[in-house]
Amino acid sequence: MSEWKKFKVGMPASKGFNSSCMPFDAVSHTSHVGSAINIIEAGEISPSLVFDESQLNDQRILVSWLSPNHWSNGFRYGNIRFHFSFKDIIEGKKYYWVEAIAYRIKACRILITDIDRDSQLDAYDPMSPTGPWWLNSSDGYHYFNNNYCLEFMIEAPVPLSNLKRIDFVDHHSSYCSIHRKNPSRCNELGVHSSKGGAIFLTRAAVSGVDLSKFSEHFIREDGRPRTELESAFNEFVVRVSRKVKFSGSFTGESETSIAVVRAVMSAFTFGLMEEAKLLCEMFKDETTFTNAAAIVLSEMVGLEKWEELAST
């Protein structure tokens, strides 16, 4: 029996949903803040060697990881999620079953590639509802068995030119994909979505990363900030300014104010909260600090009116 049959999809629900047969049209790659910045700078999710206990780990196959799963208890992979259209990803490709990995929740792995690997792997036919991924020809929807983790291994870079959306998710409170053996070493362990977003946006700001190319993911069509941007910004301002005794002289949006805000962001993104708060004291009050922070983040994401962010 083919191994994938153990994970076969159920029937699409006629009402409500069936977790063993969930429709999907997007797949995503979720990463920690540092990797997310690297992805933005590279303009793509770059494939890498498979280093876990996978049967591909002794072959020089480079893959990028994408998945349709949403983890409501938090993601092991980090806080920053990049979404892509699944149709774009699979167009003209070959599909192979790689393996099922016995994690706490079993992970089914399917390789999506241009390369003929018939001699190494079993071809996977999504048109047949006998495995965890099914393309139903009668309704045209892709379905997956959400009782398992489905991991697509893409044997190619995934360019951000095809990016559909960026959002922020919760990092799981006790599992981490980077520090598998010692999750407490992860600085982002248990960090919730808006704080993850705040760490990401401030890291981009202090690293000189230009997110204005991705402005549609942070700004709505009417020019107002999207919820993701608003909640990350508020998280940053509230966390940093809480219990700060504002006693400084910075009042306006001067170059000095902007420079100090960047220093506050730098301390915040690297977890130096005491230092961030000490720097924050240099402002006259919370409003002047909020305005200066809104100016820096608005410029970075291409938001024209920083007042829209400061007033959220």
Residues that bind Zn ion (CB under 5 A): 176, 186, 188
Q: What is the smallest separation between the CB atom of 250 and Zn ion, expressed in angstroms?
A: 35
Would you give the distance in Å from CA 166 to the centre of its chain? 7
User: Positive or negative, the Cα torsion across 141, 73, 188, 49?
Assistant: negative
The CB density around residue 217, as the number of other CB atoms within 10 Å, is 18
Q: What is the smallest separation between the CB atom of 32 and Zn ion, expressed in angstroms?
A: 6
Closer Cβ to Zn ion, 158 or 186, answer by number: 186
Closer Cβ to Zn ion, 28 or 257, answer by number: 28
Q: What is the smallest separation between the CB atom of 303 and Zn ion, expressed in angstroms?
A: 29
Q: Report residue 296 as tokens.
A: 């820096």
Closer Cβ to Zn ion, 35 or 147, answer by number: 35
Q: What is the smallest separation between the CB atom of 176 and Zn ion, expressed in angstroms?
A: 3
Q: What is the smallest separation between the CB atom of 35 and Zn ion, expressed in angstroms?
A: 10
Would you give the distance in Å from CA 4 to the centre of its chain? 27
Element (H, E) at 97: strand 94-101
Q: What is the smallest separation between the CB atom of 77 and Zn ion, expressed in angstroms?
A: 7
What letter would DSSP give residue 169? -
Contact status, residue 28 vs residue 67, Cβ threshold 8 Å = yes
Closer Cβ to Zn ion, 176 or 297, answer by number: 176
* CA-based radius of gyration for the chain: 22
Residue type at position 177: S
Closer Cβ to Zn ion, 81 or 142, answer by number: 81
Closer Cβ to Zn ion, 121 or 191, answer by number: 191
Q: Which residue has the tokens 């049959």?
A: 5
**Residues of the chain by 3-state class (helix, strand, coil), percent to 5:** 35, 20, 45
